[in-house]
Every structure is written in structure tokens, then in C-alpha cells.
């Protein structure tokens, strides 16, 4: 397999304004990424689109061909990849394979989602398609209720008080303040966190990522194309996707997200890095309980000790494991099928030294992880600065 | 890139019986393909699922992880690929890349669709998501009406009478008679074709493929895995995907399906074969007009001459270009996201000499083509018997 590099990135601001339709969001991100990479459309081999909800919420499938057309790439190979909220990461994985496997020298991956043009109840129902409908959905479970089940069981098992989770969203909101593409520009403190309404017990408003719209894209290229471009170069050194049963009831221990462990260790092994080498972790903080369980399943903390990281000194931009450095799903926002690409764009900006106010000093190794459902699909990538 | 072989196939009977849910349809096809390939689940690297409508019609996304779980493959890499009615072919293309690129030595691709558990109007509306919703769908266009537009314009431009199209469905119905997996086991004659009701003028009932359920799967392997298995071996010698704008209004000539031309010529060039080498063509006969336009755009006939093939002597099993040898989308049935995999399964059976009553004598080269929308995504594969 060949080395794969990120040659350029593009993103639209994450927003609640639904006036821009999905095809234009996607095209804006793709065009921005191509411009950033200084790559002509004629040199692009394929476009891979990550999306979860367009068919359900916008009556629009076949986003591959559609966004190719609106991006000035009409005619090229294009298809959509779906893995619920991990659609963006899964599309990145397919794009990675196309370059690593020698199919193409340059491809574009774009994650796109538009969610705010319909009623909130429609979105809640649509998001429940990421769960096991026959086992969970038909019983009225939503993504909120499933995460509430995990959070309640976690708090019970380890005797955790609600305020312990607060530092995760507080840090995310802090990082989003200086991210012009973030949805939320509002700092958060413990008092506000604790005073926020319970959405689904024990989940508070600030434990949840917001419903929003956005698109992000990356240009992936082979080494000889990357070599024509200026340093620093960012390489995708590890790429892995693992799965688990969708329904919590089909897993031996719902608090053990096995697909996180499998995909993290596989991506890190491929990249030749260990936990101590990771300079920042763009993780899937759709819920604070998901952040907590991720840190454990990914091997950064023992079971029950994930909240040891809930500390500004550890996860801030100057901490030993900066998380969600541009605000994460929580505060940059979580346009579901796009999030995996936003995460990779942000990790790229960090490693390329282009993160400006959000820069993690000396960032050389990033772990990026995108999750579908309650851990049923987990895509992990390790990005390295390759000077 | 490495050579890629088909080591085994599986399919469920295409049916209108909706009692078997999608996950079980998919798992049945995957398990049958693994058994046919004599491959243990532990040797499978990834599962790629082609599906178009599960999120819309069954509230179920994330079919990759779901079907992996129910197929005894829990934990492995799995994701879904979507390109409307070309989803199965697009998933086959991604699976091909994973083996050709050296990512995995053995993967499974599965196309699955379940359509008959909801009202026909819901299916019609769901299928319209393959068109450009903002341009066509919002105006009330359906897949029937768009194909009717193409057929009407074709008949007008070339002065064609309706009965000229009849040989295509007649041949397909004839081939399906001896295919135990086909939905329709009913022979068709010109009188019945002409007497059938007009669904959307000028499309008659027998110009259209039926709404149905089914799943088909293939095991793709690298050469060293194929070498451990008995001859004849079937190799995927060409693989290509091309796109065009979704909306007919955005194409210079709606009767010129450019993505068919591009993907056909690319796949044939990669395989080193010419039109005269093709022993059978599993084409996307969702509508008789699509068959006609395909034969022209793929280079088998000049524009306006596609109906020269509408002749039992040319397209029958003993003809010079056998089409839809197991009944095609028209009579085997068109469970949309699954059709691309059914086509590949059938082409494999022909080349492996396992087609029984449907065998094309001496079949050595097959062209397989799956189309999304009215030609917006076209996936072409050339399969070769490699003795």
C-alpha cells in the first residue's frame, strides 16, 4: 500500500441556518478543499461523500453524482458512504483506500449534512435509524434515550455525580470560541452546565451536541502529488474501521465499546504510534458519556477512570491530551454525516500549523475518531506531520 | 493493483413476500456466498453493503455493521454504499478496490433491498430520491415519469412504434422461467405486451421492472486465495464507475447517457476486451427504454439503432449478445440496491459454467452494468473466465 497525504481541506461554517441546500454545502466544501490543495478538477479521480440523512430528510439520494456535478467534477467516479454518524469517517476510509491501493493519485472526500429544515421531532426520528430499529427504535428508543441509558448505568456502576462530566463540554465550548466555523460561540461554566435542563435523565442540555448543518472536505493524494506541494505535509499513517452489534442488548457489556478499542489499536499499530505519542485527539463527543467511554475503550484510561480526563489541565489546548480542539461535536456542532470530515479537517489544520488561535503547540500526531450509533461503527485515523 | 477474483456467490429468491426483514435477507446472501466460497468468517476482511431505501422505508441505517453482526461477521470493517439503484454495483466497486489495492485478501459485498412492506405510493416516492429532488421531484416527477419522458422523446425522434420494444421483456421473461431465484415465472408474448395497461404513457406495464425484495452477495479474493480453489476461476478484469448530472435538464442530450459510455469503455479497456468479445451483457433493464439507450451508449449500436437488438435471435441465450440471462431486472426482479449484486452473481454463474438451464455456451467474457437514476451513476464490470 502507498502512503496517503492530505493536500488540502475545506469547510463551511456549521450553522442552524437551513437556507443553503445540501448540494451547495457539499460543493462549497469540495471547491474550497480543491483550491486549498491547488488541484485542478481534471486531476481528481473520485469523490466520496459521507452522508446519513439526506434521503430521509431531503428526499435526495445519490449525493455522489449530485455533488460531483455541482462541484465542477461532473462525470468522475462518485458515490456515497453511509455508516450513520460515522458516515464522514467511513467515506474518509474509502477515500484513503482508493489512494493507498493505487486506484487513484488524488481523490476528494466530503461529509455533508443538513438537518434544521425539518421539525426537531423528524430529526430525532431520523437519527434513530442509526440504532437497531427492530430492537430499539420500535420500542421508542431515541439516540438521547440510548445515551441516557449508558450514562445512567455508568453513574450507577461507578458512583459518579453529574458535575463530573462538566469539564468536557466546558473545554469544548472554550475551544469553539476561537473557531470561526463553529456553531456555538458561548463559553460555559459548571453552574450553567448544572442549571441546564435535563433533556433525558440524566442527560443535560450541555451533555448533547446540537442539530445543525455543514460540510467539510479533504483532498487526499499519493506521495508524488504531495511532494509537489510545500511542507509541512500531513500523512494518514493509520486507518481502521471496526464494528459491533447495533443494539445495546446484543453486546456483552454495553459500557465496553469494543469497536473503539479495535479500531483505535489497529490504526495506532499501523501508524507505529502509542498512546503517549498522541498530541491531540479529535474524538466523537456527541454526548459526554460517549467522550468518557471513548477515553476508556481507546485505552487512554482504565474502565471507570475516563472522567480522570475531565480536567481543563489535561484536555485543554496546552494539556497532555487536548480533545476536540476546535470545539468538537459539542460546540463546533454535529451535522452528523459531516462530522467525521470536520474532525479530519481540524486535525490536519493542527498538524499543518494552521490552527491559529486553536493551535496545539508542536502538534505532530493526531488521533481522529468518528462513531456511528452507540459505538456500532467506529472509524479511527492517525495523522502525522511528515516534515 | 492486484488481480481480483470471485470465489463464491449467494442469493435469496427475489420475492414480493415482505416477511423477511432486510437484515435476514442480507445475512442469508452473505452466508450463502461464504459457504459457496468455502471461506471462514475469520478470513473475511470487510463487508460492503449496497442499499438504497432502508433508511427511508424501514427506519434502518448503518446496514454495514448490522448485516455484519447477523452474518456471523460481528466486529469486522463494514459500511454501506449508496448510489440509488446502482448501490449494489457501487458497493461491488468499493469491494473490488479493497482487494485490488491490497487492503484485504478477502471481502464480501452484499446488495440488499426490501420494498414491499409499505404502500406502493411510498415506494414510488422513495424511488424518486434517486432523481434530482429540487429540480424533478418537487415538480412531481417519478422514476416512471422520467423514463416515460425519455421513451416518448426516443419514439418521437426516431419514429418508433411501441411494439418494437416488446422483444426485450419477452426475452427477459423467457430467461426467468428457468431461474429459481426470479420473481416472475410467466412467459410473455407480443399480444400480452401490447394489451398490457399503460402505466405512464408511453410506458406499458411490461416495460417496467417490478417492486420486490431480495439480497445477493459475492466473495472477492486476491489471487493467492483464488489459487487454493478449484477452476474455473472468474476474474474481475475491469471495473469503472462514472457519473452524470442527476437531472435530465442538466444534460446536453437526455437521450445520450454519457456515464454509460464512459464507464463501459473504461472497464473494457482495463480488461483488454472489445465489444465483439462480450459473450453476455447483464444490463440495467429497469425500463425497456433504458435497455435501448444502454445498447447505444455502451457502443453496441449507433444512436437510434438500439432496437436492432430487440430480436430473440440476437439477445437470447444462443444469440450473439445474450442480455439479462437470468431474467434481468425486468423478470428476475429489481430490488433496487441489490440488483447490481444479482447481476454480478449471475454473470459469475455463467462464466463458472454453473448457469444450468440458463447457461450461455462457452461464456468467457461478461459485461455487467448497474445504473443509478436515469443514468447519473453507472458502474461497469468486465468478468473473465480465467482457466
pLDDT tens digit string along B60-81?
999 999 999 999 999 999 999 9
Cβ contact (<8 Å) for B23 and A134? yes
Residue range B251-268: average pLDDT?
Answer: 98
Residue A245 and residue A376 in contact, taking contact as beta carbons nearer than 8 Å: yes
Q: Is the pLDDT of residue A284 over 80?
A: yes
Q: Which residues pair with B6 in a beta bridge?
A: B220, B234
Cβ-proximal residues to B319 (8 Å cutoff; 6+ apart), any chain? B311, B312, B313
Buried b / exposed e across A373-387, counting CB within 10 Å, b at 16+?
bbbbbbbbbbbbbbe
Q: What residue ranges define each of the domains in chain B, with the CATH number in brackets?
A: 4-119+212-232 (3.40.47.10), 129-208+234-386 (3.40.47.10)
Whether B334 sits among the annotated catalytic residues: the reply is yes
φ/ψ of residue A192, rounded to 5:
-65, -40
The confidence band for A387, taking pLDDT boundaries of 50, 70 and 90, is confident
The confidence band for A232, taking pLDDT boundaries of 50, 70 and 90, is confident
For residue B258, the model assigns a pLDDT of 98
Residue range A56-79: average pLDDT?
Answer: 98
Q: Is the pLDDT of residue A185 over 90?
A: yes
Nearest CA in chain B to A22: B134
For residue A126, the chain B residues in CB contact (below 8 A) are: 55
> What would the pLDDT profile of A363-373 be if each residue is shown by its tens digit?
999 999 999 99
**Nearest CA-CA distance, residue B266 and chain A, Å:** 11
φ/ψ of residue A211, rounded to 5:
-80, 130
DSSP H helical ranges for A203-281:
223-226, 258-271
CB-nearest to B75 from A134, A137, A262 is A262
For residue B231, the model assigns a pLDDT of 83
Cα–Cα distance for residue pair A222/A157, rounded to 1 Å? 48
Cβ contact (<8 Å) for A79 and B82? yes
For residue A70, the model assigns a pLDDT of 98
For residue B230, the model assigns a pLDDT of 85
The confidence band for A230, taking pLDDT boundaries of 50, 70 and 90, is confident
Cα–Cα distance for residue pair B373/B115, rounded to 1 Å? 17
Residue range A189-203: average pLDDT?
Answer: 97
CB-nearest to B372 from A52, A62, A75 is A62
Q: Which residues pair with A112 in a beta bridge?
A: A215
Cα–Cα distance for residue pair A23/A110, rounded to 1 Å? 11
In this complex, is the C-beta atom of B129 within 8 Å of any C-beta atom belonging to chain A? yes
In this complex, is the C-beta atom of A133 within 8 Å of any C-beta atom belonging to chain B? yes
Q: Is the pLDDT of residue B387 over 80?
A: no
In this complex, is the C-beta atom of B132 within 8 Å of any C-beta atom belonging to chain A? yes
Cβ contact (<8 Å) for B246 and A137? no
Cis peptide before B227 (omega within 30 of 0): no
Q: Coil, helix or strand for A374? A: coil
Share of chain B above pLDDT 70, in %: 100
Q: Which three cell numbers stand for residue A214?
A: 455543514
Buried b / exposed e across A68-93, counting CB within 10 Å, b at 16+?
bbbbebbbbbbbbbbbbbbbbbbbbb
Amino acid at each position: 500500500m502507498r502512503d496517503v497525504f492530505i493536500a488540502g481541506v475545506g469547510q463551511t461554517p456549521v450553522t442552524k441556518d437551513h437556507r443553503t441546500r445540501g448540494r451547495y454545502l457539499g460543493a462549497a466544501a469540495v471547491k474550497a478543499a480543491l483550491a486549498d490543495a491547488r488541484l485542478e478538477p481534471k486531476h481528481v479521480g473520485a469523490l466520496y461523500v459521507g452522508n446519513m440523512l439526506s434521503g430521509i430528510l431531503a428526499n435526495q439520494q445519490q449525493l455522489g453524482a449530485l455533488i460531483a456535478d455541482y462541484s465542477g467534477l461532473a462525470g468522475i467516479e462518485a458515490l456515497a458512504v453511509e455508516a450513520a454518524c460515522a458516515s464522514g469517517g467511513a467515506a474518509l476510509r474509502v477515500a484513503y483506500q482508493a489512494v493507498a491501493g493505487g486506484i487513484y493519485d488524488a481523490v476528494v472526500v466530503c461529509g455533508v449534512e443538513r438537518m434544521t429544515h425539518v421539525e426537531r421531532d423528524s430529526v430525532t426520528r431520523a437519527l434513530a435509524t442509526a440504532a437497531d430499529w427492530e430492537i430499539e427504535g420500535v420500542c421508542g428508543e431515541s439516540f438521547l434515550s440510548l445515551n441516557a441509558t449508558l450514562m445512567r448505568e455508568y453513574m450507577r456502576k461507578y458512583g459518579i455525580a453529574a458535575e463530573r462530566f462538566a469539564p468536557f463540554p466546558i473545554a469544548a465550548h472554550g475551544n469553539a470560541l476561537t473557531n470561526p466555523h463553529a456553531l456555538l460561540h458561548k463559553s460555559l461554566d459548571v453552574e450553567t452546565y448544572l442549571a441546564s435542563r435535563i433533556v433525558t435523565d440524566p442527560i443535560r442540555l450541555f451533555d448533547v451536541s446540537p442539530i445543525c448543518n455543514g460540510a467539510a472536505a479533504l483532498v487526499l493524494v499519493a506521495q508524488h502529488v504531495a511532494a509537489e506541494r510545500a511542507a509541512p505535509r500531513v500523512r494518514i499513517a493509520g486507518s481502521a474501521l471496526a464494528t459491533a452489534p447495533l443494539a445495546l442488548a446484543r453486546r456483552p457489556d454495553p459500557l465496553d465499546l469494543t469497536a473503539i478499542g479495535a479500531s483505535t489499536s489497529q490504526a495506532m499499530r499501523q501508524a507505529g504510534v502509542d498512546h503517549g505519542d498522541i498530541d491531540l485527539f479529535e474524538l466523537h463527543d456527541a454526548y459526554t458519556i460517549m467522550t468518557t467511554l471513548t477515553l476508556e475503550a481507546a485505552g487512554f484510561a482504565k474502565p471507570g477512570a475516563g472522567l480522570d480526563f475531565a480536567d481543563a489541565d489535561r484536555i485543554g489546548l496546552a494539556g497532555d491530551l487536548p480533545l476536540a480542539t476546535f470545539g468538537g461535536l459539542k460546540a463546533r456542532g454535529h451535522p452528523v454525516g459531516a462530522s467525521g470530515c470536520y474532525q479530519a479537517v481540524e486535525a490536519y489544520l493542527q498538524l499543518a500549523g494552521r490552527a491559529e488561535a486553536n493551535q496545539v503547540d508542536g502538534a505532530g500526531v493526531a488521533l481522529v475518531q468518528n462513531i456511528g450509533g452507540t459505538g456500532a461503527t467506529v472509524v479511527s485515523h492517525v495523522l502525522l506531520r511528515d516534515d
